[in-house]
């Protein structure tokens, strides 16, 4: 069941209209709005629609203007942004592998929490300015371990460094705390977010150290077996 209270009625109506539009059938909802509809933690006011395919930015911009009265701010190959009424939107070609299949929930195509968690880590690594990304990770940590989230990040974005993800989660100096985020329960403080992330990073570090020790132990045992095997053949 979607938490429709996390978006304004006009925003939800627009999402549903865009998703039903036959000319937009390769796009699906991602980002904070998809996550808010799924878990109900905060209000989200914009629409991010991604596609795994290429698209013509000029054609899409023209379609959005003609059908929805869109005010297109930017358009180029594989990217269109602007607003429809008071709702900001981004259409982006995002050609990275999906961790889970795109889901259709109550008529809205959207990305999985696993994929969203990977994208949130990617946003924090590349910017680290948006407090809402850290808040989203805080709530995602109630559903999955950081070890899983960083694993999804590495799976979705090849050649990234998990240690960079860990460091970025711990670095908060670039966060813009002046941008308001409306939480549905209204009780969360930044210290709660910071504490949960720091705790998760420490646990992640501990898990990685254990994995590394186990791998070294396996290598040592394999080497010992090989040595014994060579000795028996002499």
Cα–Cα nearest to 101, from 90, 116, 112, 117: 112
Contacts of residue 166, Cβ cutoff 8 Å, sequence gap at least 6:
150, 201, 204, 205
Task: Work out the percent of the chain whose per-residue pLDDT is above 70.
Answer: 96
Q: Do the beta carbons of residue 125 and residue 162 sit within 8 Å?
A: no
User: Mean of the pLDDT values across residues 111-120?
Assistant: 98
Residue the block writes with tokens 């501990």: 206
- The Cα 31–Cα 46 span in angstroms is 9
Convert the pLDDT of each residue in 50-104 to its tens digit.
Answer: 999 999 999 999 999 999 999 999 999 999 999 999 999 999 999 999 999 999 9
User: Mean of the pLDDT values across residues 184-188?
Assistant: 89
Cα–Cα nearest to 16, from 32, 37, 35: 37
- Strands across the sheet containing 79-84: 71-76, 79-84, 87-93, 47-51, 27-29, 108-110, 103-105
Residue the block writes with tokens 């009780």: 187
Other Cβ atoms within 10 Å of 159 Cβ, number: 5
Cα Rg, the chain, nearest whole Å: 22
Q: What is the pLDDT of residue 231?
A: 62
Instruction: Outline where DSSP puts E strands in 1-112.
Output: 27-29, 47-51, 71-76, 79-84, 87-93, 103-105, 108-110
Q: Provide the token pair at 168.
A: 């970025």
pTM confidence score: 0.89
Convert the pLDDT of each residue in 14-48 to its tens digit.
Answer: 999 999 999 999 999 999 999 999 999 999 999 99
Q: What is the pLDDT of residue 53?
A: 96
Cα–Cα nearest to 91, from 21, 140, 161: 21
User: Mean of the pLDDT values across residues 186-212?
Assistant: 93
């Amino acid at each position: 069941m979607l938490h429709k209270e996390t978006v304004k009625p006009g925003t939800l109506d627009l999402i549903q209209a865009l998703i039903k539009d036959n000319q937009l059938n390769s796009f699906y909802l991602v980002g904070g709005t998809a996550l808010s509809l799924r878990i109900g933690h905060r209000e989200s006011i914009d629409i991010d629609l991604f596609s795994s395919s290429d698209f013509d930015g000029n054609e899409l911009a023209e379609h959005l203007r003609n059908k929805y009265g869109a005010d297109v701010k930017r358009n180029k190959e594989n990217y269109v942004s602007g607003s429809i009424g008071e709702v900001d939107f981004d259409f982006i070609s995002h050609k990275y592998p999906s961790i889970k299949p795109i889901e259709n929930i109550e008529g809205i195509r959207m990305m999985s929490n696993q994929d969203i968690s990977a994208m949130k880590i990617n946003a924090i690594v590349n910017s680290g300015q948006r407090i809402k990304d850290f808040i989203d990770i805080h709530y995602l940590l109630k559903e999955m371990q950081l070890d899983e989230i960083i694993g999804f990040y590495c799976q979705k974005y090849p050649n990234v460094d998990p240690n960079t993800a860990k460091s970025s989660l711990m670095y908060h100096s670039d966060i813009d705390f002046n941008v308001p985020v409306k939480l549905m329960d209204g009780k969360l403080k930044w210290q709660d977010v910071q504490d949960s992330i720091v705790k998760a990073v420490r646990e992640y570090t501990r898990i990685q150290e254990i994995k590394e020790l186990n791998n070294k132990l396996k290598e040592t045992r394999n080497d010992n077996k090989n040595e014994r095997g060579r000795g028996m053949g002499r």
